[in-house]
Structure 1
């Protein structure tokens, strides 16, 4: 299986940066992921990410850690952080950059420990893929939480990407799928990944799913463009 992300991160880290990752989505948009952004420092992070890192406490699992930006920041603050990613290249980069604890594994296959804080940043809830996977995904998060633990996640309500009518409503295709389900393909140096599903989740839908599973769901802060930071915790 191609490790598109890991290959690109390794190239950038070793001074071989010549192009960014291209993305193609079911929303008919071609876009790119600038590699320098994947190595950003705290000051370059969006405010929602900064807020999440400021709220992190105790033992921390950074899920979908990428190049390890969040883990490194928290580690330097003295926290016990484990960086987790399904990309072998990403974990290699984390080790090279000084992350002391890292795991190469998919999130749903990881159950080695429980944590005080689970981080799902850069729309990490997208790993659920489809809305009908959300309950099992949230249950797995619950299984990794200490009794007083928290999940900090950011996501976006992508309703704005659909056509708006004169009354302020949006024309969303009525095909039976949740509008936040997007299929992506990544391309780097003429190699393409297999298609994968990614979930953009509006807060109301997240809150409803959490309530059904006895999870508290708090809106911490809204971003500037349909994005938000949420905190999940176990109901006592």
Structure 2
């Protein structure tokens, strides 16, 4: 991995001529994404993210924190004890420069010996699993990091609407995927291309079934305008 996402974040934070990220997925055309969006304030966040931050309590873990905007809101506006983790070294550098006190380069799956009251996995949390088959291990890992009475706040989208319908109202879904929410994500930044990344979108029913199968309760908290939703998982 060239960590182009992290490079863009650090360029923006340090005023190093940041450019738009060019993103493209296996089911959508090329799109430009302003890096500034990752640095949004609470007021600029979608309702789903605002709701998750309102519900956060106690000791918080922010998984895949990116530029750290969610963590900053919780640390500075809510005075919560937040640990922010990301696998991108450059993103974590930017988070530290922005004033996050506990930002570290860390893969969720190797995090040990810590417990949290709230775990937030926002901006399509399940995405990092890549494939549906990886969801059980992901949920069990999150579960193992919860204190009694703890909660996991996660958002995702049901992307079934992106597939064409046939005359009967059925959907044309490519057969090479085990599950229609499995996509391939490509990023280009300053003319460099990142290695293609498996990226997962999870519809709520599939998440709920996976949660129940792995000893977690799952509650639909909020639905957005674009087939997106916020879910709360607990033991």
Name the TM-score, length of structure 2 as normaliser: 0.96
Q: After TM superposition, give the deviation of residue 44 of structure 1 in Å.
A: 0.3
CA distance in 1, matches of 2:146, 2:205: 23
CA distance in 2, matches of 1:223, 1:181: 21
Map of 1:188 onto structure 2 = 189
SS of 2:50's equivalent in the other structure is helix
Q: After TM superposition, give the deviation of residue 167 of structure 1 in Å.
A: 4.4
SS of 1:22's equivalent in the other structure is strand
Worse-superposed segment, 167-176 or 78-87: 167-176
Map of 2:232 onto structure 1 = 231
Q: After TM superposition, give the deviation of residue 164 of structure 1 in Å.
A: 2.3
Structural mapping, 1:49-128, within 5 Å: 49-76=49-76, 77-128=78-129
CA distance in 1, matches of 2:107, 2:137: 14
CA distance in 1, matches of 2:6, 2:130: 20
Map of 1:26 onto structure 2 = 26
Structure 1 runs of 4+ with >4 Å offset: none
Name the TM-score, length of structure 1 as normaliser: 0.95
Structural mapping, 1:130-209, within 5 Å: 130-209=131-210
Map of 2:6 onto structure 1 = 6
Q: After TM superposition, give the deviation of residue 186 of structure 1 in Å.
A: 1.1
CA distance in 1, matches of 2:100, 2:132: 32
Number of corresponding residues: 234
CA distance in 1, matches of 2:49, 2:32: 20
Say yes or no: does 1:16 pair with 2:13: no
- Consecutive unaligned residues of structure 2, counting only runs of 5 or more, are none
CA distance in 1, matches of 2:34, 2:198: 21
CA distance in 2, matches of 1:153, 1:8: 24
Contact 2:18–2:35 (CA under 8 A) maintained in structure 1: no
Contact 2:135–2:210 (CA under 8 A) maintained in structure 1: yes
Q: After TM superposition, give the deviation of residue 166 of structure 1 in Å.
A: 4.4
Quote the RMSD (CA, aligned, Å).
Answer: 1.3
